Amino acid sequence: MNIADQLVNDGILDQDQAQRVNVFERDKPMSVHWELKTILYLGILLFMAGLGILVYLNIDTIGHTGIIAAISLGCAACFYYGFKHRKPYTNQEVKDESH
């Protein structure tokens, strides 16, 4: 017995309202936001763990200079992306356009 049927039995809803509630609950879209976010974070975690193991096992052939250069290039790429996609400065409240 679902909740709408129980509310009909208690006299809170009539049968037409219960039917509309059931149709709404059956047909409403399901959000997969948290599932996708979890998979994304798990993928990033596994990628970074694999990269860390690769560097740890091959530190003698890669060399410290190569690792520092790769980290520097990655950092520079992140700064470039942030600079390229930044919002212009304003003293007003900035609206978030991603939502």
| Residue 17 located in a structural domain | yes
How does residue 73 score in pLDDT terms, banded at 50, 70 and 90?
very high
| Residue 62 located in a structural domain | yes
Start-end of H helices in 1-99 = 3-9, 15-27, 33-57, 59-62, 64-84
Q: What is the mean pLDDT of residues 82-88?
A: 89
* Full residue range of the structural domain in which residue 17 is found: 1-29
**Does residue 12 sit in the same domain as residue 49?**
no
Query: What pLDDT sits at residue 49?
Result: 96
Structure tokens at 50: 């694999």
pTM over 0.85: no
pLDDT at residue 96 above 80? Answer: no
> Please, are residues 32 and 39 in contact by the beta-carbon 8 Å criterion?
no
Query: What pLDDT sits at residue 45?
Result: 97
pLDDT tens digits for range 17-45? 888 988 888 888 888 999 999 999 999 99
| Residue 98 located in a structural domain | no
| Residue 89 located in a structural domain | no
